[in-house]
Structure 1
Amino acid sequence: MNDSDEGAGRTARSKRADARRNEETLLEAAAAVFVASGVEAPVRDIAAKAGVGMGTIYRHFPTRADLIIAVYRHQVEALAEAGPGLLATSPTPHAALGRWIDLFVDFLVTKHGLAAVLRSDDAGFDTLHAYFIDRLVPVCAQLLEAAADAGEIRSDVDAYGLMRGVGNLCIGADHDPRYDARRMVELLVAGLRQSRPT
Structure 2
Amino acid sequence: MELSATFDQALVYASQIHRTQHRKGSGIPYFSHLMAVAALVLENGGSETEAIAALLHDAVEDQGGMARLDEIRRLFGPAVAEVVAGCTDAWGEPKPAWEERKRRYLEHLPQAAPATLLVSSADKLHNARTILEDYRQFGETLWPRFSHGKPGILWYYRALATAYRRAGAPERIVAELERVLDELEKMAGR
Q: TM-score, normalised by structure 1?
A: 0.30
